[in-house]
Amino acid sequence: MIAFENVGLRYGHGPEILKDLSFSIDPGSFHFLTGPSGSGKTSLLRLLLLSLKPTRGRVTMFGEDVIKLDRDRLLQMRRHIGIVFQEFRLLDHLTTFENVALPLRVRGQSETSYRANVEELLDWVGLGDRMDAYPSLLSGGEKQRAAIARAVIAKPDILLADEPTGNVDPELSERLLHLFEELNRMGTTIILATHELALLDKFGYPRMLLNEGELVIHE
Ligand SMILES: Nc1ncnc2c1ncn2[C@@H]1O[C@H](COP(=O)(O)OP(=O)(O)O)[C@@H](O)[C@H]1O
Ligand SMILES: [Mg+2]
């Protein structure tokens, strides 16, 4: 589903951030992405999110060479990928319900067609009674559960998460990980960047370790 062959990435004329990455990721797998700050985790996720193209080498996603994709096809493929950020990135002027429904609204679906689905998902992430609240009234853990719901409402094949537990308490981190684990059980491929050792140890998924631009996978 995802294959990298000798992928290198640099920003502008700067140094190479990612060097010669070669790996593949099977559908339905769960990988942690780890490595020190500045090692390129976010950059690698941006390649996977199709918001960056590699400077050299080949990235294949869903069977297609991403270098060759035109803008329309990129946007189409992008719809099969969900993303969760450390800082939640909810829209403050929309309620929790509206934030989660947004990906469906931009796809042109009507509220009558998606209301029940959004409510069901909000119940599932434990926000059934917070649907009409604006993000400013939610706790960190609630914000991240809303962001996860928004990332998966359109049923992506791949869910990327960039340090999703970086802004929540340790005990909540573990609960969030259980949500990702459940989504993975339902078939979503997950790549989750974190440097929280407690999570890496407790959950035991294979680790993609970035260091000085190179990647090693510990299965
Ligand atoms: N947009 C950018 N332009 C130039 N350099 C960048 C940009 N984004 C990240 N970098 C550099 O790339 C390196 C890797 O950053 P990043 O991917 O954010 O690592 P991590 O997420 O592991 O902290 C860092 O040296 C960072 O300064
Ligand atoms: Mg980062």
In order of 23, 56, 112, the CA distances from 7 in angstroms are 10, 6, 44
- 194 close to ligand 1 (CB < 6 Angstrom): no
Q: Where are the domains of the chain?
A: 91-155
44 SS3 class: helix
**For residue 148, how far is its CA from the centre of ligand 1 (angstroms)?**
24
- 14 close to ligand 1 (CB < 6 Angstrom): yes
Question: What is the tens place of the pLDDT at every residue in 44-68?
Answer: 999 999 999 999 999 999 999 999 9
Tell me the mean pLDDT in the region 5-16.
97
User: Cβ atoms within 10 A of the Cβ of 107, count?
Assistant: 10
Question: Which among 192, 118, 136, 138 is positioned nearest to 162, based on CA atoms?
Answer: 192
How far is residue 207 CA from its own chain's centroid?
16
- 38 close to ligand 1 (CB < 6 Angstrom): yes
Out of 10, 16, 17, 34, mutate this one to test ligand 1's pocket (max ligand atoms within 8 Å of CB): namely 17
Confidence of residue 171 (pLDDT cuts 50, 70, 90): confident
Tokens of 24: 């593949």
Q: Burial level of 209, CB count in 10 A (0-12/13-18/19+)?
A: middle
pLDDT above 90: residue 170: no
Which protein residues have their CB within 5 A of the ion that is ligand 2?
41-42
pLDDT averaged over every residue in the chain: 96
Which residues contact residue 94 at a Cβ distance below 8 angstroms, ignoring those fewer than 6 apart? 102, 134, 135
The predicted model scores a pTM of 0.96
Confidence of residue 169 (pLDDT cuts 50, 70, 90): confident
User: Cβ atoms within 10 A of the Cβ of 198, count?
Assistant: 13
- 109 close to ligand 1 (CB < 6 Angstrom): no
pLDDT of residue 188: 98
Question: What is the tens place of the pLDDT at every residue in 172-187?
Answer: 899 999 999 999 999 9
Question: What is the tens place of the pLDDT at every residue in 88-139?
Answer: 999 999 999 999 999 999 999 999 999 999 999 999 999 999 999 999 999 9
In order of 6, 19, 52, 54, 143, the CA distances from 22 in angstroms are 5, 9, 17, 12, 35
